[in-house]
Structure 1
Amino acid sequence: MSHRSAHRRLGALGAAATCLLTASFFAGPAAAAPLDEPASTPVPVATPDGVLMSYVVNAKAATPGQTRLVEAAVRDAEGVVVQSWPQIGVVVAHSTNGSFGSDVVAAGGNAVHSVGTTRTAPVSEGTPEIGDAPPAPGSRGAAEYKKAQGQPQLGGFSPGEVFDVAPAADPREAEQWNMAQINADDAHAITDGARSVLVGVLDSGVESTHPDLAPNLDLDTSVSCVDGGRPDTTPGASEPTTSAHGTHVAGTIAAARNGVGIVGVAPNVEIASVKVVNDDGYIYPEYAICGFVWAAEHGMDVTNNSYYVDPFEFWCDDQPEQAPAKEAVRRAVAYSEKKGVVSVAAAGNSAYDLANKTTNASSPNDSTAVDRVINSGCHDLPTELPGVVTVSSTTQTEQLSSFSNRGLGVIDVAAPGSSILSTYTGGAYARMSGTSMASPHVAGVAALLKSAHPEATPAQIVTMLREQADDHECTTTTRGAACVGTTDDNSYYGEGIVDALDAVG
């Protein structure tokens, strides 16, 4: 969510540009390629001795006892336990041991389900230790590497051109065509949402001093997860540093009705800043895992996820280097759903058919990208995980945005994402485009649904989102890609454009 280049799938977009060795041993079963499909192209990850790498080690069972056995195995394999999540049986570890993968399996025995790296590049933030302050930014890392390679310097998102930055002044609600498209303006005549509902903005940080966000931002439940995947609640940790993306997303969800600026979809609910984007623009698996588990443990009702998990745009089941991290993120999302959290995610900005995967040339984005074959067992995380609401983007005229991913049976609902006016860092406002901008509209409607139906489960909220969406005919063509399906459910709009009025009515 804030920053994908022309080949990145999620995030904000500019007006003309799209916004988003020897392999070491990895344990755990790698699934076979789906029937009648080619295997995906392997992307081996080098782990030479002396180079600090990040890993996830998944326990066979999500129990404290099994997790402790995995922690012991990490230490025996010359690794450091950065963060342990016994709730889901996942341990995040750093190690300079080139054979860490095989060594941790040997040490852990039957307690270890799978182990794999979370990045293809070395760790840039260092290894945090309990009690240490978060590392200072500025060490040579992914951003400098990308610059040297002539690659975009922000991963996981897209830069996003700012059209209309201005200080907060007169109310600008009349400029919010997007609210009319989803009937949020009519919904507000009934309710602005319940104060008891909390939405986690898993993103690049939310500006706590912005006049349209400060009234609704809950600092007590805000956190940063970019210290190696370890929660950091020190003052200022969840503030934006290199990106305004999270601040923009937050405004669409819940900019306050306070006589200044704009109004969000659910302007009376509370939001929490859950920072999962580091200063180089990456959202690594351990950051996302931390964000989902934090949301689950801190009473969040909804999370918005306008990003994909780096460094792979698509994580493949049949690749043992990718499957362990994919499994760890899946566990975190499933746990958050079990604890009552509805997860909403952007579909991506590659104009790609997620229902018919063939090739991908943008991954990994933290080292050297590989032009690879992918198959239906390769998924964009978290948007294609079970239970997650996948959102495509529409224009002001209700067409599918030219950049938006699509896919019959993959897209759940659509929402406005082209040139959306929202809050921006520095107390300002700006228009940005991307499925990153569409997703928070749906997160806001989910918050209204939770306000109206406080006892509803995540599955029930998702069902209501889909059933209440306004059907959209499948007759248009965007970038040469025909719409597939029916008016009731198609590859562009899913079940239709989300409807805030139905949510509260």
Structure 2
Amino acid sequence: CKLPSHSRTSLASNPTLLILFRLHMDREVYTNTWAVHIEGGPQEANRIARKHGFINHGNVSSTAVHPVEPLYCLVSWLRRKKRDDYNEPSDPKFPQQWYLSNPSEADLNARGAWSQGYTGRGVVVTILDDGIEKDHPDLASNYDPDASYDVNDGDSDPQPRYTQRNENRHGTRCAGEVAAAANNDVCGVGVAYNAKIGGVRMLDGEVTDVVEAHSLSLNSQHIHIYSASWGPEDDGKTVDGPAKLAKEAFLRGVTEGRGGLGSIFVWASGNGGREKDSCNCDGYTNSIYTLSISSTTQYGMVPWYSEACSSTLATTFSSGNPNEKQIVTTDLRQKCTDTHTGTSASAPLAAGIIALALEANMNLTWRDMQHLVVRTSHPAHLSTDDWRTNGVGRKVSHSYGYGLLDAGAMVVLAQNWTSVGPQHQCVLTMLSEPRDIGSRLLFSKTLDSCWGRPEYVNSLEHVQARLTLSYNHRGNLAIHLISPLGTRSTLLAPRPKDYSPEGFIDWAFMTTHMWDEDPRGEWTLEIENVSEQGHDYGVLSQFTLILYGTGSSSINPSSPDFPRPSNNSCKTFDTQQICIECSLGFSLFLQGCVKLCPPGFTTGPQLLNMSLDNWVDLSSVQSCLPCHPACLTCSGPGPSDCLSCPPHSHLVLTACLHQNQVQRNITTTTFLFQSPTWV
């Protein structure tokens, strides 16, 4: 049976299903492994396997890794492209590691973490790539066999395959950035030079959904951080992401990994800048489960290879123009290099910094870590023309996310961090009927962010716009999402090389730019055709908005103490018998009247357009008004009317300041002589 070209795997109720993939060569091949879905558990699976002459290698979703068998005709392989492009350590190359400690220019402030005693001890990181040279003199002392596996050949040895051109050096280079040992007279140091490091050899062979799923779920109760510097082709025309099993591995990782705290997946944002690619068309970096990292150059410029998109969370250093320095790390054949490049080099640096923060607080969840990144990253000294201030006052960019990671600030904030509440997911169907896109489509809708339901969100983290649309020339589209607080996020920038007529099918565009905003209010989706020809056409047929975040613990609509709106005290009804004004001593709330407004609201006047038959007037009625997003409870609707603050904020007089705003002042004072001088 032939699957659609975008399919990677499929599950059926019998073991004779053939998984089809497309090899990048112009021939099709079979594999003699199958992924099947069987009800009845392992015993039933073994029975069916024996009956048909198969060997059952176990549950694909388990942490066991299955062997990869020889090839036969017909499987279409996924294309996955590597993304190359105290006492200070005494290692000979450490003075050249300008991005870790640089007294005269911006750096990642690794010294700020090291000086507090955090070096990654007790944290396990694995590199999902083409293998790791486990006997490299700068990696051997930190190598962890329990964080390693060769998925390509189905054995426990992740040693790279050596070739004349050394093309399988990628994983070893990334590993050294994280955990190259310190003070051993070899090369330089890793950001977390006492962390344990492993490698999964999974790119040096055919990459299928099964291969990816195994790699992402390897030993998830032992490994803390998975670092990946690969993805679909960065060619400016591909729209691709994880298939069924890999998606399940991500979800299982964040819900079950690390004893339920969640595996941390760090991902390189992509090297398609020259092709004007968008990392929001990459389903790995575009996932809420990955911490997507972009690059900046030695001088704080956007590199030529960098992709801009709204899913990027933060930035580390990497290569730039020929006159700018690159990254120092371990290399194949027990060597050292100072020419590691691309966003490939940025993600492992972030993984190392995250390891430092995790050492400072091993109870951090996968979402806690993203909160730390948002709150401690620095926008200063990174040059781009798209810095914007979002609805809670943070600067954010499509090129850099929230800015440059700061290891010192991360560990300080991590030490006393209180875990965020459970993730709420508010799913809202926005479109009732298809809309013609034409040259420009504007669609707006006012939302209550699932108010009154358990999934209520009043403080955002990730936002997804799941779109299904047809368009005859996909690359001419630009898509923007505007939050109630006015934050405009580009979900898709034009891609001149994308001539596809396929449009998008339930593609989840993700943005992090509204982090901590209150989502209640009017949301606007804007789709525009940037072509000057004006002959393109298409239809938006589905738009689902998914709000991820937290709901205030003090606002519990199911609580018996929560006020229940009633019409008993209503003074005026409109023509549809909806209450629009309450009697004296009561306030309008949810089309009814309450004596006391619930937590998160305050009493105040609200203008109301009252229409009674032919009489229209603007009246001011006593209503329950929502507190400002910065406040938990309040005496008025303004940002300086706070009575109490949400988690990770502090009440200063009558205003709530985010924890990082207070913490940065403490950090500056405490580490004045250790911090870099910013220029």
Kindly indicate whether the alpha-carbon contact (under 8 Å) linking 1:83 and 1:92 is maintained by their aligned counterparts in 2. Answer: no
CA distance in 2, matches of 1:450, 1:472: 25
* Alignment partner of 1:385 is 2:343: no
Task: Indicate the residue corresponding to 2:450 in structure 1.
Answer: none
Return the offset for 1:87.
3.9
| Alignment map for 1:401-440 (pairs within 5 Å) | 401-407=303-309, 409-418=310-319, 419-430=326-337, 431-440=339-348
* Alignment partner of 1:348 is 2:270: yes
Kindly indicate whether the alpha-carbon contact (under 8 Å) linking 1:413 and 1:496 is maintained by their aligned counterparts in 2. Answer: yes
* Alignment partner of 1:285 is 2:213: no
Task: Indicate the residue corresponding to 1:326 in structure 2.
Answer: 243
Kindly indicate whether the alpha-carbon contact (under 8 Å) linking 2:236 and 2:277 is maintained by their aligned counterparts in 1. Answer: no
CA distance in 2, matches of 1:342, 1:249: 17
CA distance in 2, matches of 1:301, 1:44: 31
Task: Indicate the residue corresponding to 1:85 in structure 2.
Answer: 60
Please identify, of 187-196 and 396-405, the stretch whose mean Cα deviation from structure 2 is larger: 187-196
Task: Indicate the residue corresponding to 2:401 in structure 1.
Answer: 494
Task: Indicate the residue corresponding to 1:24 in structure 2.
Answer: 2
Return the offset for 1:255.
1.1
* Alignment partner of 1:267 is 2:184: no
Partner AA of 1:483 in structure 2 = D
| Alignment map for 1:298-313 (pairs within 5 Å) | 299-308=222-231
In structure 2, the CA distance between the partners of 1:314 and 1:382, relative to structure 1 (3 Å rule), is farther
Q: Which has the larger radius of gyration?
A: 2
Task: Indicate the residue corresponding to 2:218 in structure 1.
Answer: 294
* Alignment partner of 1:119 is 2:44: no
CA distance in 2, matches of 1:221, 1:244: 19
Task: Indicate the residue corresponding to 1:15 in structure 2.
Answer: none
**Per-residue deviation, residues 128-167 of structure 1 (Å, max 9, x unmatched):** xxxxxxxxxxxxxxxxxxxxxxxxxxx522665xxxxxxx
Identical positions, percent: 22
Partner AA of 2:175 in structure 1 = A
In structure 2, the CA distance between the partners of 1:89 and 1:158, relative to structure 1 (3 Å rule), is closer
Give TM-score scaled by structure 2 length.
0.48
| Alignment map for 1:33-182 (pairs within 5 Å) | 45=22, 51-53=29-31, 57=35, 59=37, 65=40, 84-87=59-62, 119=77, 156-157=81-82, 171-180=92-101, 181-182=107-108
Kindly indicate whether the alpha-carbon contact (under 8 Å) linking 2:84 and 2:345 is maintained by their aligned counterparts in 1. Answer: no
Task: Indicate the residue corresponding to 2:254 in structure 1.
Answer: 337
Kindly indicate whether the alpha-carbon contact (under 8 Å) linking 2:314 and 2:400 is maintained by their aligned counterparts in 1. Answer: yes
| Alignment map for 1:452-467 (pairs within 5 Å) | 452-467=360-375
Please give the secondary structure, in 1, of the residue aligned with 2:246.
helix
Residue of structure 2 aligned with 1:248, choices 164, 173, 185: 173
Please give the secondary structure, in 2, of the residue aligned with 1:343.
strand
Return the offset for 1:385.
2.3
CA distance in 1, matches of 2:235, 2:44: 29
Please give the secondary structure, in 2, of the residue aligned with 1:178.
coil
In structure 2, the CA distance between the partners of 1:89 and 1:424, relative to structure 1 (3 Å rule), is closer
CA distance in 1, matches of 2:34, 2:388: 39
Would you tell me which structure has more helix in proportion to its own residues?
1
Task: Indicate the residue corresponding to 1:7 in structure 2.
Answer: none
In structure 2, the CA distance between the partners of 1:253 and 1:74, relative to structure 1 (3 Å rule), is same
Return the offset for 1:258.
2.2
**Per-residue deviation, residues 3-59 of structure 1 (Å, max 9, x unmatched):** xxxxxxxxxxxxxxxxxxxx81469999xxxxxxxxxxxx9959x999423776464
In structure 2, the CA distance between the partners of 1:96 and 1:75, relative to structure 1 (3 Å rule), is farther
CA distance in 2, matches of 1:50, 1:449: 46
* Alignment partner of 1:503 is 2:410: yes
CA distance in 2, matches of 1:26, 1:184: 47
Kindly indicate whether the alpha-carbon contact (under 8 Å) linking 1:56 and 1:92 is maintained by their aligned counterparts in 2. Answer: no
**Per-residue deviation, residues 258-309 of structure 1 (Å, max 9, x unmatched):** 232211111111111222221x5x6443322111111415x11111101115
Task: Indicate the residue corresponding to 2:141 in structure 1.
Answer: 215
**Per-residue deviation, residues 240-273 of structure 1 (Å, max 9, x unmatched):** 5351111111111111112322111111111112
| Alignment map for 1:195-214 (pairs within 5 Å) | 195-214=121-140
Would you tell me which structure has more strand in proportion to its own residues?
2
Kindly indicate whether the alpha-carbon contact (under 8 Å) linking 2:174 and 2:329 is maintained by their aligned counterparts in 1. Answer: yes
Unmatched runs of 5 consecutive residues or more in structure 1:
1-22, 31-42, 101-116, 122-154, 161-168, 317-321, 358-375, 477-481
CA distance in 2, matches of 1:84, 1:410: 32
Kindly indicate whether the alpha-carbon contact (under 8 Å) linking 1:201 and 1:305 is maintained by their aligned counterparts in 2. Answer: yes
CA distance in 2, matches of 1:386, 1:198: 22
CA distance in 2, matches of 1:436, 1:87: 28
| Alignment map for 1:435-454 (pairs within 5 Å) | 435-454=343-362
In structure 2, the CA distance between the partners of 1:438 and 1:97, relative to structure 1 (3 Å rule), is closer
Partner AA of 1:414 in structure 2 = T
Partner AA of 1:398 in structure 2 = G
Return the offset for 1:173.
0.8
Kindly indicate whether the alpha-carbon contact (under 8 Å) linking 1:351 and 1:405 is maintained by their aligned counterparts in 2. Answer: yes
Return the offset for 1:472.
3.9
In structure 2, the CA distance between the partners of 1:456 and 1:175, relative to structure 1 (3 Å rule), is same
Kindly indicate whether the alpha-carbon contact (under 8 Å) linking 2:121 and 2:196 is maintained by their aligned counterparts in 1. Answer: yes
In structure 2, the CA distance between the partners of 1:500 and 1:353, relative to structure 1 (3 Å rule), is farther
Q: Which has the higher contact order (CA 8 A, sep 6+)?
A: 1
CA distance in 2, matches of 1:311, 1:354: 9
Return the offset for 1:425.
1.6
In structure 2, the CA distance between the partners of 1:306 and 1:54, relative to structure 1 (3 Å rule), is farther
**Per-residue deviation, residues 448-489 of structure 1 (Å, max 9, x unmatched):** 11100111111111221222111247752xxxxx53644611
Please give the secondary structure, in 1, of the residue aligned with 2:181.
coil
Residue of structure 2 aligned with 1:183, choices 109, 122, 131: 109
Give TM-score scaled by structure 1 length.
0.62
CA distance in 1, matches of 2:349, 2:376: 14
In structure 2, the CA distance between the partners of 1:29 and 1:382, relative to structure 1 (3 Å rule), is closer
Partner AA of 1:300 in structure 2 = I
Return the offset for 1:491.
0.4
Return the offset for 1:193.
2.5
Return the offset for 1:504.
2.2
**Per-residue deviation, residues 215-250 of structure 1 (Å, max 9, x unmatched):** 1111243211113xx4x21xx444453511111111
In structure 2, the CA distance between the partners of 1:120 and 1:225, relative to structure 1 (3 Å rule), is closer
In structure 2, the CA distance between the partners of 1:28 and 1:397, relative to structure 1 (3 Å rule), is closer
Kindly indicate whether the alpha-carbon contact (under 8 Å) linking 1:200 and 1:273 is maintained by their aligned counterparts in 2. Answer: yes
CA distance in 2, matches of 1:179, 1:455: 26
